[in-house]
Amino acid sequence: MKLARVLLTMVFVVCFSAQFFPAAAGEQVTVVGWGGNWNKAYEKGVWKPYMKQTGVKIIQEEWMGEVAKIRAQVQAGNIIYDMVSVEAPGAEIGCAEGLFVKLPRSVTGDPDKYHPETIHECGVASDTWADVMVYNADFIKGKIPKSWADFWDVKKFPGKRQLYGQAQFTFENALLADGVPVSEVYKVLRSPGGVDRVFKVLDRIRPHVIWWNQTTQAMQNLASGEVVMSDGFNARITHEIEAEKKNYVILWEAGYFYGTDLWVVVNGAPNMKVALDLLTWFSEPKNQAGFSNNFAYGTGRVEAINYVSETKRAQLPTAPQNIKYGAPYDIEYWVENKEALEKRFKTWLSK
């Protein structure tokens, strides 16, 4: 008797919970972004208009960029994510492994209409960010720094500096400080002795550098005056200036590199069709601009900037007035060399 009752309860539970299974609901899609204000900007500027227009339900999740999670999902055949924003090198590796769907032109539109390195076989830019030079005007008065060479000049501008504790970003910034123009940086890095040159430049500034690993940490050090100059992600710095009324100055004209995170569709995604449709819709410049209007990162389509408000435009790495000083991170270079160079960099740091 007891057993029958238990079985009956179990049947009930299964039937009841089946209502919550995705398959039973209307059309929906799970998109995974970087969380916080980034997700909010996407929700407000992009997902809501799409949901209103199509009636599709977008479920937003957040992650920390661990492509390992997607690899595990695909290998186990238990795929939860549909569309994910992945760092470009991760997108390249995952794409080559078959973790992500190759996107047809009917989805992405003409690749020539994108900024360089913001479109990929498997993805289109979800956000185009930049690692920029910034100083705290509360602590630097009178003579102000204008270039990466000034960043390296501890006599002219005394005080500690702050750099990102990894090879990518730091290598590029070091070469800019050594007088290499942005367009030549990867030519130098690829040439024999190029990397040695980077380490020689880094040796010069090493005793004056605090290495940051998380944006919160970088911003805290900049705010307190622990460091007078830093590099950092432009949107976070803009946020500090606007929301926290900080006296920071971003030096676009010092030269900068921009990178992209790419929307990719996971191979075997449960809502593949909806995801591809969403991405097709997102590839329109007007629809992309919804993100940049709410967050200081650009997107992929060059024309998207035309739909961004005047005040927001000046804050974007993809704005015409800024991008003349910038160049994209070379994904091929970093995918090939990241492991070896990060290891060499960490060894150098440990000395």
The reply on whether position 236 binds other proteins by CB under 8 A is no
Kindly tell me which of 91 and 323 has the beta carbon lying closer to other proteins. 91
Q: Are 173 and 230 in contact (CB under 8 A)?
A: no
Task: By CB under 8 A, name the one of 170, 221, 293, 315 that touches other proteins.
Answer: 221
Q: How far is the CB of 76 from other proteins (least distance, A)?
A: 9
Q: How far is the CB of 45 from other proteins (least distance, A)?
A: 27
Tell me how many residues contact other proteins (CB under 8 A): 41
The reply on whether position 35 binds other proteins by CB under 8 A is no
The reply on whether position 97 binds other proteins by CB under 8 A is yes
The reply on whether position 110 binds other proteins by CB under 8 A is no
Q: How far is the CB of 16 from other proteins (least distance, A)?
A: 24
Q: How far is the CB of 210 from other proteins (least distance, A)?
A: 6
What distances in angstroms separate CA 56 from CA 28, 150, 297, one per listed residue?
5, 51, 26
Encode burial over 258-288: b for 16+ CB neighbours within 10 A, e otherwise: bbbbbbbbbbebbbbebbbbbbbbbbebebb
The reply on whether position 348 binds other proteins by CB under 8 A is yes
- Work out the burial of residue 100: count CB atoms within 10 Å of its CB; fewer than 13 is exposed, 13-18 middle, 19 or more buried: buried
Q: How far is the CB of 95 from other proteins (least distance, A)?
A: 7
Kindly tell me which of 312 and 338 has the beta carbon lying closer to other proteins. 338
Dihedral (C-alpha) 269, 292, 254, 334: value to the nearest 10 degrees?
0
Q: How far is the CB of 276 from other proteins (least distance, A)?
A: 19
Three-state secondary-structure class, residue 144: coil
The reply on whether position 213 binds other proteins by CB under 8 A is yes
Kindly tell me which of 19 and 350 has the beta carbon lying closer to other proteins. 350
Q: Are 349 and 211 in contact (CB under 8 A)?
A: yes
Three-state secondary-structure class, residue 313: helix
Kindly tell me which of 89 and 298 has the beta carbon lying closer to other proteins. 89
Which of the stretches 24-32, 178-186, 311-319, 328-336 binds other proteins when contact is defined by CB under 8 A? 328-336
The reply on whether position 93 binds other proteins by CB under 8 A is yes
Kindly tell me which of 92 and 172 has the beta carbon lying closer to other proteins. 92
H or E, element range at 221: helix 215-224
The reply on whether position 342 binds other proteins by CB under 8 A is yes
Distance, first Cα to last Cα, the chain: 73
Rounded to whole angstroms, how far apart are CA atoms 248 and 210? 18
Residues 6+ apart with CB under 8 A from 62: 32, 33, 34, 35, 36, 39
The reply on whether position 98 binds other proteins by CB under 8 A is yes
Residues in contact with other proteins by CB under 8 A are 64-68, 71, 89-90, 93-98, 165, 210-211, 213-214, 216-217, 220-221, 224-226, 332, 335-340, 342-344, 346-350
